[in-house]
Amino acid sequence: MLNRFVTATLIAAALAGPAFAQDRRAPSSAAELRLSYAPIVQRAQPAVVNVYAAKTVQNRNPLLDDPLFRRFFGVPGNNRPEQMQRSLGSGVMVDASGLVVTNNHVIEGADQVKISLADKREFEAEIVLKDSRTDLAVLRVKDGREKFATLDFANSDELVVGDLVLAIGNPFGVGQTVTHGIVSALARTQVGITDYQFFIQTDAAINPGNSGGALVDMTGKLAGINTAIFSRSGGSQGIGFAIPANMVRVVVASAKSGGKAVKRPWLGARLQAVTPEIAETLGLRAPSGALVANVAPGSPAARAGLKLSDLIVAIDGQSIEDPNAFDYRFATRPFGGSAQIDVQRGGKTIKVTIPLEVAPDTNRDEITISARSPFQGARVANISPAVAEELRLDSNAEGVVVVNLEDGAPAASVGFQKGDIILAANNQKIARTSDLDKAAKSSSRLWRIVVVRGGQQINVTLGG
């Protein structure tokens, strides 16, 4: 007992010092095997919160659409049974004024959000910013009049496979729980969870309810936000994924600046992965890097001299394995400066300097179609560079695109998806959102619609 107390005291003293670098070494004595994580947990735990979200949904029983059924059973036409759906997750306090970061999927569609601190106190919270591309959201405590405990951001680029980490959250709603493990892998880019696929993989036990919780390094700093698990049973099987702190920092900074959307540097080029066949054609030893497939005129990439078929192999000295790795590295660069990209062109490596600036968002003219039509409930916008960047559209895309869909609305029911580009409706070209709004107001028993989805043109015929 005495040994543990002395050891814990020494760890606490070390953490209090100015240097926080991890000492990466194997235990050298039996005494070191009795080291405790308690000082790190005591420091981090107060900043990790439970997140409770609730939304009201209407049960859409198809029988209630029949006026004879409603009349027989005495159900008013506008009275559908409502149900409260609740979700549970975790979050991390990142600002003493009451700013909390969590996963977007924890609070998606929520009407009410509450947070609960480690000391059981509860607070109402408001949603400040949601970013589906990273699956992150930022909340703010309502009427917060105190200074809350916070976690500082670690530099997640300094993590090394094998580093010890702690996962803190509220699995299965049992209460705040701490588990430990190691960093199993870095830069996981084939997970398929979010647009920015660049995850920290850990074997620290992560379960449902841990989403939005903290992955903490041995300096007591936030290394990542726990987001997903790979599981056949629904429980932890030793493969969990966390969003790196450097990406979380970008989203939080946008929330602090008062933005409703996350601002990221704009490249203005479409990249593709290097397949073994492409690698052989280019004479590469291995299929790695990001190949430039398209460059938008007037974009930062074009002004910097990036060209079609250039192979990007590094950014600011960090190697690039695939387009996902580049997207992450580029998106976490600060505005105002520039990024130096290493490019292989014609068998030689050259350096290209890309300015870090926001994509222009001119003439977006975002509206929701309300007229009775297959488009009803679709929120659409004119495609600007910013919209193309948000929805990962081709940098040369033009026209009107679906940016959101109301749950249960006709547009969602007939199969429209976020990112669909609407080219024509009943032989009328759709170039602006006003064109679509006008077309939707024209009554028609048959709708012939031309849509581009994933680069493929689709012709659809729907009944009115």
Residues taking part in catalysis: 105, 135, 211
Return left, alpha or beta for 269; rule: phi > 0 is left, psi -120 to 50 is alpha, else beta: beta
CA 155 to the chain's CA centroid: 18
Return left, alpha or beta for 436; rule: phi > 0 is left, psi -120 to 50 is alpha, else beta: alpha
Three-class DSSP labels, the chain: CHHHHHHHHHHHHHHHCCCCCCCCCCCCCCHHHHCCCHHHHHHHHHHEEEEEEEEEEECCCHHHHCHHHHHHHCCCCCCCCEEEEEEEEEEEEEECCCEEEEEHHHHCCCCEEEEECCCCCEEEEEEEEEECCCCEEEEEECCCCCCCCCCCECCHHHCCCCCEEEEEECHHHCCCEEEEEEEEEEEECCCCCCCCCCEEEECCCCCCCCCCCEEECCCCCEEEEEEEECCCCCCCCCCEEEEEHHHHHHHHHHHHCCCCCCCCECCCEEEEECCHHHHHHHCCCCCCCEEEEEECCCCHHHHHCCCCCCEEEEECCEECCCHHHHHHHHHCCCCCCEEEEEEEECCEEEEEEEECCECCCCCCCCEECCCCCCCCCEEEEECCHHHHHHHCCCCCCCCEEEEEECCCCHHHHCCCCCCCEEEEECCEECCCHHHHHHHHCCCCCEEEEEEEECCEEEEEEEEC
Cβ–Cβ under 8 Å, residues 354 and 304: yes
